[in-house]
Structure 1
Amino acid sequence: MNGPRVALLAASLFLTGCGGGAVASPGHPSGAPKATTSTPDVATLAPPSPEMSVQAAPLHLPGLGPRTLAAIPADARQAVVVTGRGRNSPLSTVVLYERTEAGWQAGASWPAHNALKGWSEHHTGGDLRSPVGVYGLTDAGGLLGNPGTRLPYHRSGAFTSPGTGFEGEPLAGSFDYVIAINYNREPGTSPLDWTRPLGAGRGGGIWFHVDHGGPTHGCVSVSEQHMKDLLRTLDPGLHPVVVMGDATALAR
């Protein structure tokens, strides 16, 4: 790999939006391959943790207004709702819902971090805000092996996050497991693919990843165990989506 190409790869991954950006290993190709489904490291798909217990089943997802509800595809039967505390807050809550004949069944409520400066309905690269909206969840990957997800999973040494976060916390391990959020990316590719349909200026590389104890550049982070739960529960046959934003924006 020649010098200019290495520089392009490093610059592209720096703009991923996740805490610190991924760093490509020397042998990682400049164009990330199409994601393929790998064999899980476990013999069978592990069940979600007890925290994923079923709660009430409302007919509509709680806290979402008509505009947000209208953006959810009709075939989506799993929805990960990320609700920020405020427009400028880096703190949020994650709940995974599954649609049944009785309504939307809720899982447990998980604490999460989002971007340092909160949320934006017009996210741009480097604005340190997470994008508000409804996005597909089709691809996953990480530094570690497949924990049992049915999503296409790309394991690579390029899922490395060096340095420290905004509060001085180490970022190591943040990308052990990631799920690509289909904001300004090409679905069906590795999370490391930097194709930006809206243009580079609109940012990209927005992921779910392992929480490092502080705000992100644009991603949503939950604990390692909750990332495993999420990976093992998401089913591409149920067309999962993420619904994300501050509470006020989601209520519209």
Structure 2
Amino acid sequence: MGSVGTRRTAVATAALGFLTVAALAGCGGPSEGGAGDRGSGPAEGAGHASATADPTRIPGVGDRYQRLVPTGTRQVVAVYGDGPDSADATVVLYTKQGSAWHRARSWAAHNGTRGWTTDHRENDKRSPVGVFTLSDAGGVLPDPDPAPDTGLPYTRSASFAAPRWWAKSYWHDFDYVIAIDYNRVKGTSPNDPTRPQGASKGGGIWLHMDHGSGTSACVSLPKPAMEYLLRTLDPDARPVVVMGDKARLKA
């Protein structure tokens, strides 16, 4: 990261306007076959550690993905998809204290309308399975973090707003977003359309506000969850998202 004074940016709407279409093509928007709203309260069931579970391991995550979590990471956003073809998920925030992981909060959430994939492609309506860093945030609304110099760099811009030709239930999807570092350049606004692996691999995949059903490939959460994550995630804790359907994550 750069100095504290450079962690936050306020980018004018005009400067980011040309990025909007590219970003929205990868995340959000009306999609067919969405799942029903599961509510905004804490979700139970996914990621709970049993009495004999190893506290040094992230619950419900097998060796393959445990090894991909960087050694210095102290915050993990785990997305447990209900099934490989399901749009329903549970998000759990874990924090590391010493060598042990502790469950901080959990929320009902949604992922891609068609579920999950280990080979994400543009417009496949499936969320990518994997471990990805969380480096940048933004949205239409002001940063909710009262101490923004310690949080993820946040770009506020009206250019994040969903098109008004979308259904009204989608209009606030991008009031808050956290970029998932899949096929993107870290250290840039979530709206940056650059795709290092090429356009066919998709991109513009975010944590964002929930509209009550599946997404194009993103993970959507209730507004209080997004506000909590934006206030809590700390670049110094090297936060990552571990995401996928439960069976793949556990394998």
TM-score, normalising length from structure 2?
0.79
Task: Tell me, in whole angstroms, the C-alpha distance in 2 between the residues paired with 1:133 and 1:240.
Answer: 14
Where does 1:162-181 land on structure 2 (aligned, <5 Å)? Answer: 162=163, 170-181=169-180
In the TM superposition, structure 1's runs of 4+ consecutive aligned residues that sit over 4 Å from their partners are: 6-11
Q: Check if 1:101 corresponds to 2:130.
A: no
- The letter of the residue matching 2:177 is V
Higher helix fraction (1 or 2): 2
Name the CA distance, whole Å, in 2 between partners of 1:156 and 1:124: 27
Contact 1:169 1:212 in 2 (8 A): no
Three-state SS of the structure 1 residue aligned to 2:160 is coil
Match of 1:211 in 2: 210
| 1:112-131 equivalent positions in 2, closer than 5 A | 112-131=109-128
How many Å separate the matches in 1 of 2:139 and 2:237? Answer: 22
Deviation at 1:205, TM superposition (A): 0.4
In the alignment, what sits opposite 2:155?
A: 154
The change in CA–CA distance for 1:10 and 1:224 in structure 2 (over 3 A counts) is closer
Q: CA deviation at 1:20?
A: 5.2
Contact 2:20 2:191 in 1 (8 A): no
Alignment check: 8 A CA contact 2:94 2:105 kept: no
CA distance in 2, matches of 1:19, 1:177: 15
User: Conserved in 2, the CA contact under 8 Å of 1:178 and 1:208?
Assistant: yes
Q: Kindly provide the CA deviation profile for residues 19-54 of structure 1, in whole angstroms up to 9, marking residues without a partner as x.
A: 359xxxxxxxxxxxxxxxxxxxxxxxxxxxxx7xxx
Change (3 A) 1:147 1:14: closer
Aligned to 1:137, the other structure's residue is in SS state: strand
Any conservation in 2 of the 1:86–1:248 contact (CA below 8 Å)?
yes
Q: Which amino acid aligns with 2:29?
A: G
Tell me which residue corresponds to 1:38. Answer: none
Q: Do the aligned partners of 1:209 and 1:221 also contact (CA within 8 Å) in 2?
A: yes
Q: Distance in 2 between matches of 1:188 and 1:66?
A: 29
Structure 2 unaligned regions, length at least 5:
1-15, 32-41, 43-47
Q: Give the Cα–Cα distance (whole angstroms) in 1 for the partners of residues 168 and 108 of structure 2.
A: 17
Equivalence for 1:76: 73
* Matched letter for residue 143 of structure 1: V
Aligned to 2:27: 17
Q: Contact 2:178/2:207 (CA < 8 Å) preserved in 1?
A: yes
What SS is found at the alignment partner of 1:158?
helix
> For 1:10 and 1:232, how far apart are their aligned partners in 2?
25
1:172: how far off? 1.1
Q: CA deviation at 1:152?
A: 0.4
CA deviation after TM superposition for structure 1 residue 14, in Å: 3.8
1:90 to 76, 79, 87: 87
| CA 198–235 in structure 1, closer or farther in 2 if over 3 Å, else same | same
TM-score (norm 1): 0.79
- The question of whether the paired residues in 2 share the 8 Å contact of 1:78 and 1:97 is answered with yes
| Cα distance between partner residues in 1 of 2:229 and 2:18 | 32
Structure 2: distance between partners of 1:9 and 1:230 = 24
